[in-house]
A and B are shown apart, each in its own frame.
Chain A
Amino acid sequence: MIALDVAGLRGGYGRTEVLHGVDLRVPAGKAVALLGSNGAGKTTLLRTIAGLNPTRSGTIRLNGESIGHRPAHARARAGICLIPEGRGIFRRLSVQENLAMHGGRRDIAEVIDRVASLFPILEERLGQQAGTLSGGQQQMLALARALVKDPTVVLADELSVGLAPVVVDEILEALNVLRAEGRSLLIVEQYVERAVAMADYVYILNKGAVVFVGEPRQCASGAVFERYLGGAA
């Protein structure tokens, strides 16, 4: 079953078209790595799927239901969860307030227990202003917020940027936990090899169009990258 089905997606900024008809599918419970050089349109694609950038044409379906015409918040409610580039947290709110934004659906204590099992450090800092956490902790919080929302598809945009390698391990491990729970992942990652290692499928985007779709084993030799990314990996 396909969780996220993007077909013929065109979008961009103002008059400038960045995505020239992108087709992409994320099967339920699978992880897809989205690769491409700088400016290929990866972030634009994720933001367009999440509804932060306008869609010019094409369709976006979540579990078969068309969501491309809905505003960002409605897509989020439908089950799309974008963890944006940078730190996807409310910096001036406390850690607990960041997590409690969606209380009500679940008991907040339960949410905190769950977050604590993945990222114990966050439990110690519930009252702290989120903007004062370290970079790694902020990214953990961004991931924890994604967990709390119970999403169908998680779009993770460069989660490891600016983080120490040991923290990156922890963050990527958390993504694996999400997948183990049956959620679908669409991952944009600077550490290409690690992204490929944890993915079920690999898409390569170049100049706003998909130029390669395949499985991780096809990427093992590096020839694919050589061909489509000019040896960028």
Chain B
Amino acid sequence: MSEYLPFIIIGLATGSVYAIAAMGLTVTYTTSGVFNFAHGAVGMIATFIFYSLRVDAGLPTALAMAIAVLGVGPAVGVVIDRVLLRRLDGATAATYVVVSLGLLVALQGLAIWIYGPATRSLAPIFPHSTFRLPGVNVGWDQVILVAIAAGAGLGLALFFRYSRLGIQTRAVVDDPGLTELEGLDSGLITTFSWMLGCSFAALAGVLLAPLLGVDAVLLTLLAIQVFGAAVIGRLTSLPLTYFGAMLIGLGQALATKLVTGHQALNGLPTSLPFIILFAVLVLSPKGFFQEVVRTKAAAVRTGRRALGRVFPWPVLVSLVAVAVVLPARLSGARLLTATSTLGFVLVFASLSLLIGLSRQVSLCHAVFVVFGATTLAHLRNMGVPYLPALLLAALVMVPVGALVAIPAIRLSGLFLALATFGFGILAQNLLFLTKFAFGAGSVVRIPRPTVFGVDLGGDKSFYYFVLICVVLGVIAVEAVRVTRLGRVLRALADSPTATESLGINPTAARVIVFCVGAFLAAIAGGLLGTLTQVVNTTTFDFFQSLVWVTVLVTTGAATIGGSVLASLLLVTAPTIFTSKTFVELQPVFFGVAAILLAQARNGLVGLVPRPDFSALADQSAWRGGSRRLAERSVPETTVPSTGVPSMGVRA
């Protein structure tokens, strides 16, 4: 037993830091209804500023910490609430997910651009000396961490229970409209809760930095690990969130001890929060998780034509025509880029089925792409011919897609995003190094094949092969859009209740769209893997899934044009604009653009005016009709002579 004691102490200390971050996340979610995927990134930014102040500017630690936690954290909170979120009143849950993802991608890109990707070490903040308890040495710094978290938790509890602002904050959580009727500015109270929540994120980041180093990716992700704790607290209960964080901290530390010597399980400790996240979300009874709806009445948008109802033959034919003549003008690296761009068109087209058509934010798309590539490699090694192997690899992903669809059946917008996010990281941490994916070597090779007697070893021939596959895939995607399945998914995105009341089974549609998406993404993964011939664990890491969502939302998720533009911006643009600044700022651009365009009808593509005269005719008829209707519905006011307002009521 005594060999576990040091791990329990470590677990309590890290659990305490998670608890601080998780309580901050819960405070902002309950008061604003916006789950901040960028909560970790906020902590990360504050930690970098703390580093600059303490190390570069030489400020005393306490002062630097105070500025980071009480200045930077709350300031970021104000910006998030007032600049990013306030203009989104009435948006859907998926929009808020996209906006906070955009913020996450942008903040992380910004930190890497300013500070570089290297991890910086930071001297301890608290005394490192230890004292002896029976069977174990305990560091004073660990005691201080536990005390800070306990103090913060207790402070929050007392604040919400007894202070007037605390009670008013709970009133906003309960009913923001009614709070306004009380004469209280619910917007101001929400801003305050963002300041509070973000300063907790900053505090957690600053406390973690000496243990982990100051690293943009690590800090962002580690603070994201608090999602598990927040979900244990159902995103609403502070005591349960605190308990959940402690549980995860302890679980991780003990798992580290338990897996020692089992190489295959090395990923378990870091995956534990996501196992918990995924398990809690998937296994909880239906209705256990209720989204906090904190949006004002949605803006009613009428008179718009739905996108993607007609098969886009003209667009598709034009794009294919350009793609067919392109290799004549390209060679070498440019041709490889063009082929890669084609492959990514299929990645984005398959993702657009989920995001654009059924409005389900899936954050694990890279998993399908990766497993498409690795499964293809394994099948090729077994001697399966290329085409059957490619199809088989994609078919293997269909049940995986169905598995991911389970949360989609049971959970709405935010919780689906969270579950797929957890699944993405789980797959990467637990499965990538197994023999099902990359194996211990972390790499798979897929030599170029010969198909129907045509040697695809040449870049040009392979380009055309990819083009054929991608065109078939895109036709499949567009076919889904214009057929009954597409209509059902569009209807489900609009109103699940109304759709079910028509006798339509929503489960089947949601499962099928995930399966089709997974199938096509796996095909794309196989093609991209064959293009580079070598795929390793970092080629498509889970963070790519997040970036892809922001890119697709930026360019437009509802039509094929958006997928093509997404691929051009993500894959082609960095090979044309090769300056370091451009490449490093690319994620910042996508993050900011996703934030700005999250509510747009169809991203950048949707901003391009399309001369569609039939639509104009439809709309003018509609408008004229509504005006006539309005004119008719205004009644003739028949006020009796004895009762004109000025007479009857003037006292």
Contacts and interface: CB of A to CB of B under 8 A. Distances in A.
A15 B302 contact: yes
A135 interface: no
Nearest to B638: A211
B263 interface: no
Interface centre among A72, A93, A104, A209 (most CB of B within 10 A): A72
B328 interface: no
Interface string A151-190: 0000000000000000000000000000000000000000
A90 B181 contact: no
B651 A73 contact: no
Interface in B620-639: 630, 633-635, 637-639
Contacts of B177: 52, 72, 84
A16 interface: yes
Given A101-B167, A213-B648, A214-B640, A76 B300 contact: no
B57 interface: no
Interface residues of B, number: 39
Interface centre among B170, B300, B642, B649 (most CB of A within 10 A): B649
Interface in B595-651: 630, 633-635, 637-640, 642-645, 648-651
Contact of A25 (B170, B634, B650): B650
A103 B297 CA distance: 30
B455 interface: no
B167 A213 contact: no
A20 B186 contact: no
B168 interface: yes
B262 interface: no
Say whether chain A's binding surface is mostly helix, strand, loop, or mixed.
mixed
Contacts of B185: 71, 73
Contacts of A91: 174-175
A213 B650 CA distance: 12
A206 interface: yes
Contact of B167 (A14, A89, A100): A100
A77 to B, nearest CB: 4
B645 A210 contact: yes
A32 B644 CA distance: 15
A114 interface: no
A97 interface: yes
B173 interface: yes
Interface in B156-182: 164, 167-168, 170-171, 173-175, 177-182
A88 interface: yes
A218 B642 contact: yes
A207 B634 contact: yes
Given A73-B185, A93-B171, 20 more contacts: A2-B651, A20-B633, A20-B634, A26-B649, A71-B185, A72-B177, A84-B178, A84-B181, A88-B178, A90-B178, A90-B179, A91-B174, A101-B171, A208-B634, A210-B645, A211-B637, A212-B638, A213-B645, A213-B649, A214-B643
Interface of B: 164, 167-168, 170-171, 173-175, 177-186, 297, 299-302, 630, 633-635, 637-640, 642-645, 648-651
21 contacts: A14-B300, A16-B300, A20-B633, A26-B649, A27-B649, A28-B651, A52-B181, A73-B186, A76-B183, A92-B170, A97-B167, A101-B164, A103-B164, A104-B164, A149-B183, A201-B648, A201-B649, A207-B633, A211-B637, A212-B640, A215-B648
Interface of A: 1-2, 13-17, 20, 23-28, 30, 32, 50-53, 71-74, 76-77, 81-82, 84, 88-93, 97, 100-104, 145, 149, 201, 206-215, 218
